[in-house]
A and B are shown apart, each in its own frame.
Chain A
Amino acid sequence: MNTSTGERSRPTTIHHREQVMGTIVTFDVYREAGISPTEFLAHLARAVNALHRADKIFSTWKAESPVSRLRRGEITLGEAPAEVLEVLTLCRTARDLSGGWFDPWAIEGGVDPTGYVKGWAAQLALEELRDADLDGAMVNAAGDIASFGGPVAGQPFRVGIVNPDATTELACAVELRGAIATSGAYERGEHLVNPHTGELDTSVASSSVTGPDLGVADALATALAVGGDEVLSLIEDIADYEAFTISHDGQWKWTARFPFARTTATAAS
């Protein structure tokens, strides 16, 4: 196998973790022919910078972040960094796509794009790796994953979905092409407020959405967590996005093309 290629300075995988946005974001990159660490690190530095910049701008934990100041009315949208308007515009699109079930404007204390930012930022970070000559890369922001390629050329990544029931290990595995986001009752966050009732509420125990962009997938997974079947039907009609839910009593539902891996975690061949 690759252990005898002689390219001792060129590993076939590199893993990096970054503490940012109140969580850990991991990078897993793969190239069967070997990766030049020095070349890759230049890309990684840009990717990591994208995450920290997003954190600085959007963190609602940091009182002096532009978004915190915007929420307090201390600055206008025009005075905020350009990314704020960009993200709010994307949030508006996601709100429309989700039939209003994802709604950063329904959050107490003013518009809060936090529920969109993590996925958006991870996708930005991934894009910085796009031209790094890799077979595949994953950026995993605490369980929401942006990716391209796979562990080897021509093969998709396989990603497990946690079983929200906690009595089994993983509910299933997915052949990933692009992004996957999973929301659930076990996850904390203002973004799981039902925008129609204002209550902290979930219709299903776990909701996952796959698609080309993690920001959109994350927003739709959030909407799916509170909206349940209604949102599942909506996603069926959104091109390139697929969805999967596990109800509180363990029932699975999914859109027609949800990319289940052929074998589950417990029955891996």
Chain B
Amino acid sequence: MRRTPIVLAGTVVGLAGVLGFHTSPAKLTLGTVPSSTVTGRSTTTSAAPTTSTSAAGTNPPTTNATTAANSNPTTTVAKATPTTVRQTTTTAAPTTTAPPTTRTATGPLVNYYFGTLSVSVTATGKKITKVTISSLSDGGNFRSQSIDQQSIPMLEQQALAVQSAQIQGVSGASYTSAGFAQSLQGALKQLGV
């Protein structure tokens, strides 16, 4: 079946990139949003845009469920030192010689549970400094609007929070995470973060 994890070989090639990414305690490898980020970084970014495009613009629940079941899973093997309690002493952090530049990229418009959204990321050097939702359409679903207003800022903060916290996961993400993560990884790829 398509969900059989077959991306390992390619992922190993992408390891250098994953490792090089960790200039700061950027633990985007962890938790809900983070894992997707690592994935996008390594090999399989195309999975998200493809998936979302096929589902975009239609009624979310049914389409989304079908798409999700058939989409490619993605596996990332990180050969890093444990990304956990030892971040401050991690040997994976390269010393950057070039002055860090600040730039912003916007990820693809993706389908999420109630509509479509896209994520913008600003990074200085390899460090993410800002994550925002740059566009959001919830298809006019009345109930989802109030949820969006609360969960979107939370997710933006979450992406940043996990960079600085010595944690391996985050509890309490909302359903919006999936779409958020898909667009986020697209933006990160554009930035080379």
- Chain A residues near B (Cβ < 8 Å): 1-3, 8, 11-24, 26, 28, 30, 32, 37, 41, 44-45, 48, 52, 55-56, 59, 61-63, 138, 140, 142-145, 147, 151-152, 155, 157-164, 166, 168-170, 173-174, 176, 180-189, 206, 208, 263, 265-266, 268-269
8 A-B residue pairs with Cβ-Cβ distance under 8 Å, sorted by A, are A15-B29, A48-B3, A140-B35, A155-B85, A159-B169, A166-B150, A189-B175, A208-B172
- Write out the residue numbers on chain A whose beta carbons fall within 8 Å of the beta carbon of B90: 1
Q: Which residue of A lies closest to B70 (CB)?
A: A19
Residues of B contacting A55 with CB < 8 Å?
65, 69
CB < 8 Å A-B pair total? 247
Interchain CB contact (< 8 A) of B165 among A18, A157, A170: A170
Complex: A226 Cα to B17 Cα, angstroms? 45
CA distance A4 to B178 in the complex (A): 36
Most buried by A among B74, B147, B165: B165
- Cross-chain contact B177 with A24 (CB below 8 angstroms): yes
Given known contacts A142-B32, A160-B161, A13 and B80 CB-to-CB distance under 8 angstroms? yes
A21 to B131, CA, bound (A): 26
CB distance from A118 to the nearest CB of B (A): 10
Q: Which residues of B contact A (CB under 8 A)?
A: 3-5, 8, 15, 29-32, 35-36, 38-39, 51, 61-62, 64-69, 71, 73-85, 90-92, 113-114, 143-144, 147, 150-151, 153-154, 157-158, 160-162, 164-175, 177-178, 181
- Considering the chains assembled together, what is the distance between the CA atoms of A151 and B92 in angstroms? 17
Shortest Cβ distance from residue B133 to the other chain A in the assembled complex, whole angstroms: 12
List chain B residues, Cβ under 8 A from A145.
Answer: 169, 171
| A30, A55, A145, A168: residue with the most chain B Cβ atoms closer than 10 Å | A145
* Cα-based distance from A8 to B147 in the complex (angstroms): 45
Question: B31: which of A20, A140, A188 is its contact (CB, 8 Å)?
Answer: A140
Chain A residues positioned under 8 Å from B173 (CB to CB)? 142-143, 162
B75 touches A16 (CB 8 A): yes
- CB pair A162–B170 under 8 Å, yes or no, is yes
A263 / chain B contacts, CB cutoff of 8 Å: 166
The reply to whether B168 and A265 form a contact with Cβ atoms under 8 Å apart is no
With both beta carbons as reference points, the residue of chain B lying nearest to A151 in the complex is identified as B84
Closest B residue by C-beta to A210: B171
Q: Chain B residues near A268 (CB, 8 Å)?
A: 164-166
Q: How far is the CA of A109 from the CA of B75 in the complex (A)?
A: 38
- Taking the closest CB of chain A, its distance from the CB of B54, in whole angstroms, is 12
CB–CB A169/B3 < 8 A: no
A180 to B51, CA, bound (A): 29
Closest-CB distance, B36 to chain A (whole angstroms): 6
Given A61-B65, A142-B178, A159:B171 Cβ within 8 A: yes
Given A142-B178, A170-B170: A19 touches B73 (CB 8 Å cut-off) = yes
Specify which chain A residues have a CB less than 8 angstroms from the CB of B5 in the assembled complex: 16, 41, 44-45, 48
Which residue of A is nearest B75, CB measured? A16
A168 to B154, CA, bound (A): 9
CB distance from B168 to the nearest CB of A (A): 5
Chain A hits for B4, CB < 8 A: 45
- Known contacts A14-B78, A20-B69, A23-B178; A158/B160 CB under 8 A: no
Q: Once the chains bind, are A142 and B174 in contact (CB under 8 Å)?
A: yes
